[in-house]
Amino acid sequence: MALSRSWNLAVIGYSTLAAAMLAFITINGESSTAVGTIGTAGLLGLGLVLPAAGMLELATRIDPSYRRMRTGLALQGVCAAGLLLGLLVSFFASSLPGHMASAAFIAFAGTAGLVAAILISKEAGVPQLVVGAALIAIGAALIPASNIASQMYWVQDLEKNVYQDVGATVAACGCVVAAYSCFVMRKPSVSR
C-alpha cells in the first residue's frame, strides 16, 4: 500500500511538471506576467517536490536486496531537487552568473537523473524511463542555455524565447514518458 502511494506521488509529480512546462510556454516572452511567473514557478516546485518525495520514500521502502533500484530512486530524488534549484534560479536570474549557476545545477541534476534512470530501468525493466530522463535533462538544459546565449548576445530575445519553448516542450514530453514509466513500475509485478 505504501509503495503504491509513493509511486502515485511520482506519477502525479511528473504529470504536474509536464503541466508546468506547458504553462511556461504560454507565459514565456510576455512582459506583464508576474502572476503567471509565480504560478508557473509554483507548479514547477510542486512538480519536482512530489516525485522527489515519492522516489526518496521508495528508496527507503524497497527491499535492500535491490541495491541498484534503491540507488537509482535516491538519485532520482537528488535529480528532482537539483532541477528544482536550477529551474527556479533560471526563472528569477537576471545576470550571466545567475544563468551559469542555473546551468550548473541542471547539468548536475540531468546527469544524476540519467544515471538513476539507467539503474532503475535495469532493475525494473522499463527502458523508456531512460528516454524520459534524457528528454527532461535536454529540455531543462535548453532553458538556461538560451538565457546564457542571450546574455552573450549570440541570439536575440525572440530566438531565446523560441529555444526556451523548445526546451520546455522537450522536457514536458520527457515528463509524460517518466510519468508513464512510474505508472508501469507501480504495479506489484514490477515494484519489488
The pLDDT assigned to 1 comes to 47
User: Is 59's pLDDT higher than 50?
Assistant: yes
- pLDDT bucket at 173, cuts 50 / 70 / 90: very high
* 153-176 mean pLDDT: 88
**Which pLDDT belongs to residue 174?**
94
Instruction: Look up the pTM and report it.
Output: 0.87
* Rounded Cα–Cα distance for residues 191 and 8 (Å): 12
pLDDT of residue 106: 92
